[in-house]
Structure 1
C-alpha cells in the first residue's frame, strides 16, 4: 500500500531541481514502454531469426537479408529514444519563473516570460495547448494545463531534453 504524496513534498523536490519519485511516470510514460518493447522485439528478431531459420542457406535468403538493415535501424532508433528518456530521470530540472500571459488564440511570443495559448479549431480537430517559456514551445498535458494559472507568476518545472512539463507551482 502506497502512502499519498503531498504536493508540498513534490514541489520542494522540484524547486531543488530534481524529480520526485512519484513523477517518474511522466518521463517513463506509455510511449517509452512501447518504444522499449518494439526495440527489444527488433533486436530479438535481428538476432534470433537468422540463427533459428535457414535464412542463409535457402534460395530466398536475399529477401530476408534485405529487411535486416531496416530491422536493425528500427531497433537502434527505438532503443536510442528510450535511453534519452531514461537519462532525463537523472538530469536537473529547468525552472522558469515569471508572469504568465494568456494569449488566447493569438500566437505566443517571447514578450512575457511564460506565454500560453489554447486553440480549438473545430468539431473534428484536436485541441492544441501551447506553452512558450525560455524561448521554447512546450505542449503540456491536460493535467499540467489545468495547473497553470494565467495573469500571475508561475514556476514551471521542465525536463530539459524531452521538453516535458512535470510541475507548475503558483508563485
Structure 2
C-alpha cells in the first residue's frame, strides 16, 4: 500500500522533500538517502522548465519575399524563353556587353534550350522510339482496368453470335 502511495507522489526534485534529504546526508543515513534519490524522476524534462517555441515555417518563397529577390533562374526553356533571349541579344548588339549583363541579372534566361514536345527526352532518343512508345508517352490518362463483369460480356457476345449464326 505504501509503495503505491510513493509511486503516485510524482517526486521530481529535492525541493519536494524539504529538509529530509539534508538530514539523511548529515546523519549518515545511506539507506534513506538512496531511497530518496531512487524516487526522483529520471526524465530530465521534468527538472528543466521547457517553453514551447512556435516554429515558423521558412520556405524558399518566404525568404525570396523577405529579401526581395527575383524569381530563380529557370532550368529548361519554354516559349517565353525565346523572347527573353532575343531581347538580350538585341541589347548586346545595340548597347554592348554591360547592357546584356544588366538585362540578364534583371531577368535571367534559361540555362538550357531543350527541344519541345519530346517528353523530356533528347531529340535523337525521342525520334528513335517506336510509334507505340510515342503513343504511350502522349497518353495523359492511365489505362482503365478490365471491367469486373468481363466474363458476362463475353458469354453474352458469344450467345448473340450463335443466335445470329443460326438465323
Superposed pair shares fold, TM > 0.5: no
Give the TM-score category using the shorter length: under 0.3
Taking CA–CA contacts closer than 8 Å with sequence separation of 6 or more, which of the two structures ends up with the larger relative contact order?
1
TM value normalised by structure 2: 0.25
Q: Greater share of helix residues, 1 or 2?
A: 2
Q: Greater share of strand residues, 1 or 2?
A: 1
